[in-house]
Structure 1
Amino acid sequence: MVVDTSLYDVLEVKPDATKEQITAAIKKKSLEHHPDRGGSHEMMQKVNAAKEILTDPQKRHTYDRYGLKGIRSDMAESDSAFSGVSSIFDLFDLITGGRSRGERSTPPKGSDIKQALKVSLEELYLGTTKTVTVNRKIICADCHGAGSQDGTTHECTNCEGTGIETIIHRMGPFIQQIQSKCSSCDGNGRTIDWRNRCKNCNGQKLFQETKKLDVHITHGSQDRETIKLSGQGNQIPNGESGNVYIILDQQPHAIFNRNGDNLIMKLEINLTESLCGFQRLINLLDGHTILIKHPAGKPIIPNTYRCLKGYGMPNRHTHSHGDLIIHFDVKFPEENFITTDSQRQQLEALLPSKTPIRLNKKKHYEEAEMKEYEFSGENVHKQHFSNGHHHETAEDDDTHFHESTDSAAPSLQTFSLYPYSIDVYHKTIIACQFSGPLMLLIAIFLKRTPTIVLYILTIIGTTLIFDHMANQDIDKKNLKQCLQLLITVVSNTINILERQTNQSNEKHILNNLQITIINLLDCNLS
């Protein structure tokens, strides 16, 4: 007697089939489920597993007598592997749905529901019970989750009861398989005839329900704390119900702010209470009132704190309470609250004396009037001072020297010629108008050509030539004016050099420079 027919069912043959019939069935199923032909890879693994066992007489005999468990016991210490399956344990998991190793299958579970619940600080302090309303899906009471009137369903013909359909995309010689939830049975693997559908749930097996649930809030609960209500979530047929998670949302309080287990409150007192002491009543979150006293002679400075130990929030884990922290805001009198000199003198007699200053009667002092000012960080310009001198930071340098330019403005190229960086468009004209005549005056008075004259003129001329070679889009009128000024400077310098017999080298260089500039002017700017 055959105790397990799962491998025979894969090949769709009877348990008493001959070896030839099994071989023919294997060939047929291999062609049908081969991935290259659009078949399922999982089914191909099952066919290969059936081939390994049923074509081997000894393995088939063990399988017929003891089933897959017997095969597993018989081959647990063997290193043999099946085609497409890494080991006998993978085969057993494949055929039995992953329950081959003594694992208890986990039943499906309905989805959870999360819902926020607004609570006050008093409710968190004392603890309370509140009612919430949740919308959930429950199993239909008429069909008990079957979806049909008589409880019968049919295997889905689209997915063959697996709940998963395979979509094949062919791209030339390549085949792509995509598995998704079956569109016919919605992944259930079973379908219901439309005439046999349940009238209450219309074959959906579930219907929407609104239910009220009691939420027990423990004293000392935290803001954003989650309370779990097991089994109160959405239900599914043949599965467990989901859970409901209630998230506590603490609302702002008019007096107290919470910081962990501590409570913080702001208490406003006037200047008299700050200097001479006071008494105040404070209503706590549990409803009872406490009296606080502050003695005279110990002034309370504005924006300082005092602490009342053990008057904060309860902690259910440590069975203790936090602290109540009081933030004092000292309110000063309004303007012109002193109406007479007598009142002022009495007040000055009680308070510490003023800081005296000595004024020179022979010296005139300018009096400045102070006005109210709202301090803001935006009104203060960040500067760095060292030894009384202002030093601009790298950000300041970027602000001054790296100004943003409009994309429509002409592009000006700067050539870095040691030790100067010359802007071709503007600085060359300035150099010609000022540096050239200045150097000529120096040459006239000294009756010799300073080396710097030759150096500057060479830089200017070379820069213009480089700029022309780079095809910069520069106004030709301005460039022509610049070149004409250069020619004038060079000509005047040559005239001076003609009077000096020891300046032949400089004269030769300037002649060549003048010829180059004239050719550039005549050939390219005409």
Structure 2
Amino acid sequence: MGVDYYKILRVDRSANGDDLKKAYRKLVMKWHPDKKLNNKKEASDKFKQIFEAYNVLTDPQKRGAYDQYGEEGLKGQAPPPGTGGFSGGPTTFPVNPRSPDDIISELFRFMDETDGRAGGSTFRRGVFGDEFFSSFMSGGGDGSANIPRKGAAIVRTLLCSLKDLYKGTRKKMKISRDVVDANGQPIPVQEILPIEIKPGWKKGTKITFPEKGNEQRGLMPADLIFIIDEKPHSVFRRDNNDLISTQGISLVEALTGYVAQLTTLDGRNLTIPINSIMSPSYEEVVEGEGMPIPKDPSKKGNLRIKFNIKFPSRMSSKQKIGFRNY
């Protein structure tokens, strides 16, 4: 049979008009050249195949000829169904008797008929542009003129605990959005989006769900973007891949020694003896007890323990003499 139009549109041979419209619309959104900036020629070629397949399969006469005789039936090399053979020379079925913009207008109905543009030349030019279809049908140009714009990305904050960012976790986000049906009408739907939080992810990390925003006439669906934010923790503060903990100690402990005790974000108990004299700027560094490094979670930053030294509000004469003698 040569080219398989059903395979191009990814539909069964029994597909009806609504099936064809849905499949065509989905493929148009996927393959228009603005979305394939790295390979516009491939996108343009694919777009032509999709358009040709839809044009044939939505025309009952051409579809009948194609189903019975394949491409030859469209080129007049076999009699179209119901004619009883050729008469007056071969009959051909041109692949593109309808203009591309007429088909797009019929399919998407992006504009309101009340504003005088739906189905008219202004509407058709506004959707994809005459220049685009001229180059599209002839194989020239980059195929990017006036392709439907994409809606502005929808950005939402995803608040995570420091423990979640340390260990990694999976979340499920329930969203509500509008989806345009085959008649161009918005229908509210709800979806559950799975989000996998990787160990070591930082505040500001973006998780993008392409085209999960509301669908609107004349616009590609917007992307939905979640941006990681971090809840404050009672013990630790994050500094890049390091964790910082501040502990209060007495002046005597600062001068004579101290044992720091901490529970890690994964539940382990650390005991860290410190025998150095601790000044107000002193930090005790415990290597490998910080946050996982996102590119290599088997490695971690450091734990840095800082100290808030509590100086006495008053001292006895004996204590003062003792310090002076020291």
What does residue 121 of structure 1 align with? 162
Deviation at 1:240, TM superposition (A): 6.0
Deviation at 1:261, TM superposition (A): 0.8
Q: CA separation in 1, counterparts of 2:132 and 2:321?
A: 99
Change (3 A) 1:269 1:213: same
**Which one of the candidate residues 257, 268, 280 is aligned to 2:237?**
257
| Matched ranges for 1:68-217 at <5 A | 94=131, 96-99=133-136, 100=138, 101=140, 103=142, 108=148, 111=151, 112-140=153-181, 145-147=182-184, 205-217=185-197
Deviation at 1:231, TM superposition (A): 4.0
What does residue 321 of structure 1 align with? 300
Q: Residue type matched to 1:303 in 2?
A: S
Q: Deviations over 1:377-405 (max 9, x none)?
A: xxxxxxxxxxxxxxxxxxxxxxxxxxxxx
What does residue 6 of structure 2 align with? none
- Whether the 8 Å CA contact 2:175–2:193 is kept in 1: the answer is yes
Deviation at 1:279, TM superposition (A): 1.2
What does residue 311 of structure 1 align with? 289
What does residue 294 of structure 1 align with? 274
Deviation at 1:300, TM superposition (A): 0.9
Q: CA separation in 2, counterparts of 1:103 and 1:213?
A: 35
**Which one of the candidate residues 209, 223, 239 is aligned to 1:229?**
209
- Whether the 8 Å CA contact 1:305–1:326 is kept in 2: the answer is yes
Q: CA separation in 1, counterparts of 2:250 and 2:321?
A: 18
| TM-score scaled by length of structure 2 | 0.52
- Whether the 8 Å CA contact 2:200–2:292 is kept in 1: the answer is yes
What does residue 522 of structure 1 align with? none
Q: CA RMSD in A?
A: 3.0
Change (3 A) 1:95 1:335: closer
**Which one of the candidate residues 216, 226, 233 is aligned to 1:246?**
226
Higher fraction of strand: 2
- Whether the 8 Å CA contact 1:109–1:236 is kept in 2: the answer is no
- Whether the 8 Å CA contact 1:310–1:321 is kept in 2: the answer is yes
Change (3 A) 1:324 1:132: same
Q: Deviations over 1:40-92 (max 9, x none)?
A: xxxxxxxxxxxxxxxxxxxxxxxxxxxxxxxxxxxxxxxxxxxxxxxxxxxxx
- Whether the 8 Å CA contact 2:149–2:220 is kept in 1: the answer is yes
Q: CA separation in 1, counterparts of 2:144 and 2:218?
A: 13
| TM-score scaled by length of structure 1 | 0.33
Structure 1 unaligned spans of 5+: 1-92, 148-204, 355-526
Deviation at 1:98, TM superposition (A): 4.2
User: Is structure 2 residue 309 aligned with structure 1 residue 330?
Assistant: yes
Change (3 A) 1:256 1:97: farther
Deviation at 1:245, TM superposition (A): 0.9
| Matched ranges for 1:332-371 at <5 A | 332-336=311-315, 338=316, 344=318, 348-349=321-322, 351-353=323-325
Q: Residue type matched to 1:299 in 2?
A: I
Change (3 A) 1:301 1:104: same
Deviation at 1:105, TM superposition (A): 5.8
SS in 2 for 1:123: helix
- Whether the 8 Å CA contact 2:132–2:143 is kept in 1: the answer is no
- Whether the 8 Å CA contact 2:135–2:141 is kept in 1: the answer is no
Q: CA separation in 1, counterparts of 2:267 and 2:157?
A: 26
- Whether the 8 Å CA contact 1:282–1:291 is kept in 2: the answer is yes
Deviation at 1:292, TM superposition (A): 0.5
Change (3 A) 1:230 1:94: closer
Deviation at 1:352, TM superposition (A): 5.0
Aligned residues: 193
Deviation at 1:353, TM superposition (A): 2.1
Q: Residue type matched to 1:256 in 2?
A: F
Structure showing greater relative contact order (alpha-carbon pairs closer than 8 Å, 6 or more residues apart)? 2
Q: CA separation in 2, counterparts of 1:95 and 1:210?
A: 35
Deviation at 1:238, TM superposition (A): 9.8
